[in-house]
Amino acid sequence: MGNRLTKIYTRTGDAGDTGKADGARVSKDDCLIHAQGDIDELNSFIGLLASKVDDDALNELILKIQHDLFNMGAEISLSQQLITGKNIEYLEQQLDHYNADLPPLKEFILPGGGEAASICHVARAVCRRAERNLVTLHKEQSTGSELLAYINRLSDLLFVLARVLTRNAGEKETYWQSDR
């Protein structure tokens, strides 16, 4: 990183715009800023999740995801590819690994399953919102298709991890029951 922040407030965004990595200014409600904000929020929830997980392998996975999410934010700001097929393949390998021992689903699962699993479900929901905003951004400025695939696999992985965390906490999954 070329410039380190020595002063946190700059007053340059007081009028409702913000600087991109290339120095250009955009409105704070630009679809790029929405996508970056959702990725940042997702990364924050995943950091909270890490603070509730006492498993070295899971924490290593979580840390890798956090680095990937930071790279995603940089990629959409710089228009320079940082997320590749290797990142997506890694998530798919993790999905296969963690899903292998879970019972097949016959119903939808309600979010819950203990504190860590619940946080993981929140992260999954934020991930889906980030995905929607990335799709909007992709339509406007054609981001890399790897970003869309990565965020889609990540939401799947977060769902599977929530199930794993529920099991690890000794909790039971609560299945959705329709009134119909």
Cα separation, 27 vs 122, whole angstroms: 28
Cα separation, 4 vs 17, whole angstroms: 21
Average of pLDDT values for 11-18?
Answer: 62
The residue extents of the domains of the chain are: 24-168
Pick the CATH number of 24-168 from 3.40.720.10, 1.20.1200.10, 1.10.10.60, 3.90.550.10: 1.20.1200.10
Render pLDDT for 43-75 as a digit per residue (tens, 0 to 9).
999 999 999 999 999 999 999 999 999 999 989
Average of pLDDT values for 90-110?
Answer: 94
Check if the beta carbon of residue 66 is closer than 8 Å to that of residue 46.
Answer: yes
State the helix-helix crossing angle for 85-99 and 145-168, rounded to 10 degrees: 20
Question: Which is more confidently placed, 140 or 53?
Answer: 53
Task: Give me the percent of the chain exceeding a pLDDT of 90.
Answer: 65
**Residue 144 above 80 pLDDT?**
no
Neighbours of 171 (CB within 10 A): 16
For the chain, helix, strand, coil in percent to 5 are 60, 5, 35
To the nearest 10°, the Cα dihedral for 110, 114, 120, 121?
20
Average of pLDDT values for 7-36?
Answer: 70
